[in-house]
């Protein structure tokens, strides 16, 4: 995946786990229990760890069908907005959503 010193995407910081970690780190900085530099390093480790764990541990698959509303490609990141979407999961569960946003990023470092 990434080599030592490479940055990871910060996509998962907006998840409930990522926001809880950020709030906790802010509290620790405010109470002067840790330095801001340490908090930044912890968030970088979070970015790396969650990307690796999701890649290695999540094996579930799903298919979906919907209407592509908007798409864009900027800075090696694809963003899709899909409306009226229907999901089918491996375990035969199905559900619908009015609108979703999919963000897809490059998984491997480009060769120099």
Q: What does the pLDDT average to over 65-92?
A: 94
pLDDT tops 90 at residue 25: yes
Q: What does the pLDDT average to over 55-67?
A: 92
Neighbours of 90 (CB within 10 A): 10
pLDDT of residue 92: 86
Predicted TM-score (pTM) of the model is: 0.68
Q: What is the CATH number of domain 62-105?
A: 2.30.18.10
The domain defined by 11-57 folds into Helix Hairpins (1.10.287)
**Domain limits, the chain:** 11-57, 62-105
Q: What's the rounded Cα separation, in Å, for the pair 45 and 1? A: 15
Contacts of 86 (CB under 8 A, 6+ apart): 64, 65, 66, 94, 95, 96
Q: What does the pLDDT average to over 20-46?
A: 96
pLDDT of residue 109: 55
Q: Is pLDDT larger for residue 56 or for residue 112?
A: 56
H helix runs in 5-111, sequence order: 16-30, 36-57
pLDDT of residue 33: 96
């Amino acid at each position: 995946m990434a080599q030592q010193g490479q940055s990871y995407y910060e996509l998962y910081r907006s998840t409930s786990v990522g926001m809880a970690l950020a709030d906790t780190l802010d509290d620790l900085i405010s109470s002067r229990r840790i330095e801001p530099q340490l908090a930044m390093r912890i968030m970088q480790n979070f970015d790396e760890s969650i990307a690796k764990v999701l890649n290695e541990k999540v094996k579930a698959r799903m298919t979906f069908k919907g209407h592509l509303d908007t798409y864009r490609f900027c800075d090696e990141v694809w963003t899709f907005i899909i409306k009226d979407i229907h999901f089918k999961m491996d375990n035969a569960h199905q559900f619908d959503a009015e609108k979703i946003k999919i963000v897809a990023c490059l998984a491997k470092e480009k060769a120099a």
